[in-house]
Structure 1
Amino acid sequence: MKKDKENAVTSLKTVKGQIEGIIKMLEEDRYCVDISNQIFAAQSLLKKSNILILKQHIHHCVKEAIKEDKGDEKINEIIVVLEKIIQK
């Protein structure tokens, strides 16, 4: 699972750079469609990072909670997050 965390951090750092680039594009009055495409790319990486983080959460936190017979709360947390993802 450590690899998922590392990949999530890498993706988020990439998004950070993309957002800085998007801001610069706006300041330079670059073509709007190009800016929009960069925003879509950043959103895609954010979604990827979120999935990696949730995957790690399920494999670690939820699994441990289930072993301790405390899984209902963790499962409900995941359901709330999935509802947010689905509604978008």
Structure 2
Amino acid sequence: MHGYGADKDKVLGRLHRIEGQVRAIGKMVEEDKYCIDVLTQIAASNSALKSVALLLLDDHLNHCVRQASIEGGEVADEKLAEASAAIARLMKS
């Protein structure tokens, strides 16, 4: 089981809401809505995605990285490197 297993329904629910937000943004563009209103909705969608990413990262740290640290050795090093790279990607976005 992946680290987010316990939160899978919560993650999926949030992703489905974000999917609806993105579809609504497309509809706003189709309907020639005011550009600032479209940008506001894009910002809200980005924020929602970052929230899901942080939830997944937290679950990864508390499950996968914690378990790897108990095992130690190369497994721990690999999981820590993965987490560090994921954090770096999130910081760039």
Fold shared, TM-score > 0.5 on shorter chain? yes
Q: After the TM superposition, which residues 1-88 of structure 1 pair with which residues of structure 2 at under 5 Å, given as runs? A: 2=6, 4-69=7-72, 70-88=75-93
Contact in 2 for aligned 1:5/1:52 (Cα 8 Å) = no
Alignment gaps of 5+ in structure 1: none
Find the aligned partners of 2:20 and 2:55 in 1 and give their Cα distance.
Answer: 19
The one-letter code of the counterpart of 1:40 is A
User: What is the alpha-carbon root mean square deviation over aligned residues?
Assistant: 1.4
Give the C-alpha shift of residue 60 in structure 1.
1.0
Cα distance between partner residues in 1 of 2:86 and 2:61: 12
| TM-score normalised by length of structure 1 | 0.89
Regions of 4+ moved over 3 Å: none
Question: Which letter maps to 1:9?
Answer: L
Query: For structure 2, which runs of at least 5 residues remain unmatched after alignment?
Result: none
With the length of structure 2 as denominator, give the TM-score of the two structures. 0.85
